[in-house]
């Protein structure tokens, strides 16, 4: 009987593995040229987004914490980035400026955009000194400024002049447009800045929203989200962070606004690619669960088993037991 049972279990395992590997291949993104590609990097609790414009410029917005810097630089270099055309710091907090220090130390940067806020921290001072030492021209971004990078345009809708002196609310907020597809990158603004942006009547509609302040409860008000009307909401957030980000009520507001939510703590690095008329969203790290299956052990049959963390079910035509799930992950080529 044992010799008869094992081959069936092995066949189930092999079939499921084959399906999993096929799905994995379908989920991994391919390199795109002539497209705008926006990569929301998994920098743990922090923010970092890399834009590759259709004409090949590299724009880096924030860099996560200082500890994320070496990983960020090696990620960019391994994806063919030799220099940064535009480096943007949304605001001086450590979870945004830290990694940019490592970038400035290791890569050529043509120009920098910041809010030119005064803020007392050793990391921000180091960032400012590196810009000065390397003679990198720096633009103080304000609401109403417009920039063009190849076929991509960027409209600044925050901060106002004069600044409010609140670091989060003075974040540089850019609405990036390519054709009919828009991205709203909100830094760490909170409800005060959101209300002021609405009060200034700025256009903030965007298909893809980088959710403000790591999904904090004090950001992403229903009024603001109604104007953004996002289809995709990306939250840059660390696993088990001490701030409780993202806030469950913020997640509910995003869902109520009709957005599909992607999170760097769950999906890893998230890549959005657009030709200016349509877009695709692909988590760069695909997690797959490979079942370790035995037939008829223990005695209770389990023909339908839910995959961990998903709505998908594993179905087997005869009494089968999933003994364990093996989680594997793979980076895209
Ligand atoms: Zn932050």
108-134 tens-digit pLDDT: 999 999 999 999 999 999 999 999 999
CA–centroid distance, residue 228 to ligand 1 (Å): 20
Give yes or no: residues 116 and 75 share one domain. yes
Residue 95 Cα to ligand 1 midpoint, Å, equals 5
The tally of domains found in the chain comes to: 2
Cα of first residue to Cα of last residue in the chain, in angstroms, is 45
Cα(124) to centroid of ligand 1, in Å? 14
Which residues lie at CB < 5 A from ion ligand 1?
95, 188
Last residue of a domain, one of 283, 299, 318: 283
Q: How far is the CA of 214 from the centre of ligand 1 (A)?
A: 6
pLDDT category, 333, cuts 50, 70, 90? Answer: very low
**Are 84 and 178 members of one domain?**
yes
Kindly state whether residues 163 and 238 are assigned to the same domain.
Answer: yes
Distance CA 24, CA 28 (A): 6
pLDDT of residue 309: 53
Both 169 and 94 in one domain: the answer is yes
136 and 20 co-located in one domain: no
- Residue 305 tokens read as 């088993």
Kindly state whether residues 200 and 327 are assigned to the same domain: no
pLDDT tens per residue across span 53-101: 999 999 999 999 999 999 999 999 999 999 999 999 999 999 999 999 9
Q: Higher confidence at residue 241 or residue 293? A: 241
Same domain for 63 and 14: no
Give the C-alpha distances (Å, rounded to integers) separating 65 from 92, 109, 126, 200, 247. Answer: 11, 19, 13, 32, 21
What value does the mean pLDDT of the chain take? 86
Q: Tell me the residue range of the domain where 18 lies.
A: 2-26+286-331
Say whether both 176 and 145 belong to one domain: yes
Q: Which residues pair with 285 in a beta bridge?
A: 331
Distance 276 CA to ligand 1 centre (A): 29
Question: Do 166 and 189 have their domain in common?
Answer: yes
Please indicate, yes or no, whether residues 311 and 274 belong to a single structural domain of this protein: no
Q: Tell me how far the alpha carbon of residue 46 lies from the centroid of ligand 1, in angstroms.
A: 5
CA 270 / ligand 1 centre spacing (Å): 18
| Domain end residue (candidates: 248, 268, 283) | 283
């Amino acid at each position: 009987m044992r010799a008869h049972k094992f081959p069936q279990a092995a066949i189930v395992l092999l079939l499921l593995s084959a399906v999993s590997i096929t799905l994995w291949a379908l989920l991994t993104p391919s390199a795109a040229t002539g497209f705008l590609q926006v990569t929301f990097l998994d920098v743990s609790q922090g923010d970092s987004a890399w834009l590759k414009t259709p004409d090949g410029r590299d724009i880096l917005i924030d860099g996560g914490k200082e500890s994320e810097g070496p990983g960020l630089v090696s990620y960019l270099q391994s994806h063919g980035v030799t220099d940064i055309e535009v480096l943007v710091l949304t605001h001086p907090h450590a979870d945004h400026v830290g990694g940019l220090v490592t970038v400035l130390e290791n890569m050529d940067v043509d120009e920098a955009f910041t809010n030119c806020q005064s803020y007392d921290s050793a990391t921000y001072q180091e960032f400012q000194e590196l810009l000065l030492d390397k003679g990198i021209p720096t633009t103080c971004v304000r609401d109403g400024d417009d920039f063009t990078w190849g076929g991509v345009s960027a409209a600044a809708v925050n901060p106002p002049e004069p600044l409010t002196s609140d670091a989060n609310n003075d974040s540089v907020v850019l609405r990036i447009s390519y054709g009919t597809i828009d991205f709203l990158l909100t830094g760490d603004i909170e409800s005060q800045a959101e209300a002021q942006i609405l009060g200034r009547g700025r256009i903030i509609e965007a298909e893809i929203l980088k959710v403000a302040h790591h999904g904090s409860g004090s950001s992403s008000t229903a009024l603001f989200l109604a104007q953004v009307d996002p289809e995709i909401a990306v939250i840059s957030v660390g696993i088990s962070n001490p701030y409780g980000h993202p806030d469950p009520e913020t997640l509910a507001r995003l869902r109520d606004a009709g957005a599909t939510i992607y999170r760097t703590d769950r999906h890893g690095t998230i890549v959005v690619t657009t030709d200016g008329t349509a877009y695709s969203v692909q988590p760069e790290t695909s997690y797959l669960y490979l079942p370790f299956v035995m037939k008829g052990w223990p005695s209770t049959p389990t023909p339908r088993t839910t995959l961990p963390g998903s709505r998908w079910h594993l179905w087997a035509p005869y009494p089968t037991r999933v003994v364990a799930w093996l989680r594997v992950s793979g980076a895209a080529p």
